[in-house]
Structure 1
Amino acid sequence: MNQIGILGVVHNEELRMQHGLTLETIQALILEFDPDVICGEVLPASWEKYRQNPLDRAYWGEPPSEYYELILPLCEEKGYAFEPIDWVELDVWNDFDPMRHYSGEERADLEAESDKWWDKQLTAAGKGEIAFNCAAFDETTSLKYRWLEQLDAEAHVFRWTGRHIIMMQRIKNAIKRHPGKKMLCIVGADHNHVLNEELRKLEQVEVIYPLK
């Protein structure tokens, strides 16, 4: 039996400060959960670059800032194993913008609608004990991505559905490498609801989400 927690974070320091999900808070949550393994939203190739040179930064595909500033050094300090689980094909990612088929005023209207969805997410983010880790945020986020799917189903499959299929497989592979271990998945909060739903389908896995 693997116990797996999910912690959704945001990749922007200003947002962290505004919503109380600071690096200090994230660290406290990690230490309280006390995992054996952290599965992080990092590309395997970027993880290898970090292992070769932790100071190599500012490249397309680098890990989000919380990994450099907190998570990866904490893994080294505490002896947590780290498993990179993200997937992005960097050379074609921008070709699958969900608004790629829209232009002019129509695109501007859709971008304004996207901003409204983000505002709804931010409003919902504070409705749990841990910001961005609650049912209200997850429900709003799920609705937002259903809306995006209607704009361009192919882009949605590439950027969202396919990405999660691969992220989940990498988590499953990590479970095989660490049987019976306590694991913590740390991802951008938009991914929370998908991982929560998919992990609960697995046998011999106890999901803890939200952490509080």
Structure 2
Amino acid sequence: MYDAELKNQLENELKRWNDKKLSVWNEGNIPFNSFEYDAITNEIYDWLHTVNPNVQNVIWDARHYIMTARVKNAAKKYPDKRILCIHGADHNYWYYKSLKDERDIELVYPLR
């Protein structure tokens, strides 16, 4: 799909993004748990979406919609319970963005 030169350029750009993200890994009290880390992560996936939107829509966005739907369903099923969601650090920004305005969900985010 990409010639060798473009593939190399894209891989180098992704490395720069990941280096930038990892430069703030310890901004919060818990590693990889800060608004700074999440902002860069969000930018990375926005950039990746411009590189190949079909792949991002299928492997990233669809996955996120499923993950947050499960949280919403659990919150409805157990309205008076606390729910712990464990996921990789690159999903934090999406959870926050998708759940922060939910009426019956209170987020403790980021953990500081």
Superposed displacement of residue 166, structure 1: 1.0
Gaps of 5+ in 2: none
1:143 deviates by 0.8
Q: 1:142 aligns with which of 42, 45, 63?
A: 42
For normalisation by structure 2, the TM-score amounts to 0.93
Partner residue in 2 for 1:133: 33
Normalized per residue, the structure richer in helix is 2
In structure 1, the residue corresponding to 2:80 is in which secondary structure? coil
Q: What is the aligned counterpart of 1:162 among 62, 68, 73?
A: 62
Q: Higher strand fraction: Structure 1 or Structure 2?
A: 1
1:185 aligns with 2:81: no
Identical-pair percentage: 38
Q: Distance in 1 between matches of 2:13 and 2:48?
A: 10
Q: Give the TM-score normalised by structure 1.
A: 0.51
Distance in 2 (alpha carbons) for counterparts of 1:128 and 1:148: 25
Q: Highest Rg: 1 or 2? A: 1
Find the counterpart in structure 1 of residue 104 from structure 2. 204
RMSD of equivalent CA atoms: 1.2
Deviation of 1:133 (Å): 0.4
Q: Map of 1:79-94 to 2, 5 A cutoff?
A: none
Structure 1: how far apart are the matches of 2:21 and 2:88? 13
| Counterpart selection for 1:115 from 5, 15, 28 | 15
Which residue does the alignment assign to 2:95? 195
For structure 1, list consecutive stretches of 5 or more residues without a partner in the other structure. 1-100
What's the offset of the Cα at 1:209?
Answer: 0.5
